């Protein structure tokens, strides 16, 4: 992925990993558009980062994604990078008989990126160089039982990304997958942002940007801290990793 001269759309760009990526790419001279549900959050982020743009997007709604994509294509015809960062992570008690959380999680985390990719792909394919980056999780490879649908959607995104990469291999569109470990954000509440077990956000972003800048053929962006989860099956330590993350929460 080229690091400069891009027009980059980042969903879920107002907070956490999305905001940190947006700021890092903006600092390199890229045009950056952040999208999310909360206007106040987007406004605060763009106010702190002159030159950054924003747009409202609810990834849970297919009609909203269609309208948003049409608007983006009109306003930013040079768009050549899409980073699918938006996501929700909520605990579920699978014996309580409710599926509301599961449905919202699937719509936002899995259907949302599929819908947005489908809508924007014709524009991306017109660019000389383009990239789609999905954001999965270490939990795609070893699930957290307390958040079963979140973990499942990240496993699905990993699989979808591999197929997308294969189908676009003869186009100008590069397909990347960012696989975060447990990072100090507010994805599951304010306490996560200061949890000493989580990777500091700045440290995570610095390592990610270094990988992108120095690895020409990278397809999966793996910081060192996520590798035990990503390769747990290969190393024969899957059961050990599963027990560890599900008994120490």
**CA separation for the pair 249, 244 (Å, rounded):** 9
Encoded tokens for 150: 């979140």
**CA separation for the pair 136, 119 (Å, rounded):** 20
**CA separation for the pair 49, 23 (Å, rounded):** 7
Cβ–Cβ contacts within 10 Å for residue 148, how many? 18
Encoded tokens for 80: 């050549």
CA-wise closest residue to 205 among 183, 235, 228? 183
- Chain centre to alpha carbon of residue 7: 17
Give catalytic residues, as residue numbers. 150
Secondary structure of 101-139 as H, E, C letters = HHHHHHHHHHHHHHHHHHHHHHHHHHCCCEEEEEECCHH
**CA separation for the pair 9, 88 (Å, rounded):** 18
């Amino acid at each position: 992925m080229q690091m400069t001269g891009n027009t980059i759309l980042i969903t879920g760009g107002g907070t956490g990993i999305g905001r940190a990526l947006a700021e890092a790419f903006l600092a390199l001279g890229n045009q950056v558009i952040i999208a999310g549900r909360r206007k106040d959050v987007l406004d605060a982020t763009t106010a702190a980062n002159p030159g950054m743009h924003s747009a409202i997007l609810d990834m849970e709604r297919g009609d909203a994604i269609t309208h948003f994509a049409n608007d983006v294509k009109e306003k930013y015809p040079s768009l050549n990078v899409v980073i699918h960062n938006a996501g929700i992570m909520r605990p579920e008690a699978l014996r309580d008989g409710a599926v509301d959380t599961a449905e919202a999680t699937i719509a936002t985390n899995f259907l949302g990126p599929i819908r947005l990719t489908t809508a924007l792909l014709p524009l991306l394919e017109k660019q000389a160089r383009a990239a789609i980056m999905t954001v999965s999780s270490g939990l795609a490879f070893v699930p957290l039982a307390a958040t079963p649908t979140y973990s499942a959607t990240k496993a699905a995104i990993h699989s979808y990304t591999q197929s997308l990469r294969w189908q676009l291999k003869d186009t100008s569109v590069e397909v990347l997958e960012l696989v975060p470990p447990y990072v100090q954000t507010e994805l599951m509440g304010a306490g996560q942002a200061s949890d000493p077990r989580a990777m500091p956000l700045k440290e995570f972003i610095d390592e990610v940007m270094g990988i992108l800048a120095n690895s020409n053929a990278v397809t999966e962006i793996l910081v060192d801290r996520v590798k035990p989860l990503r390769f747990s099956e290969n190393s024969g330590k899957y059961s050990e990793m599963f027990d560890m993350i599900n008994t120490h929460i």
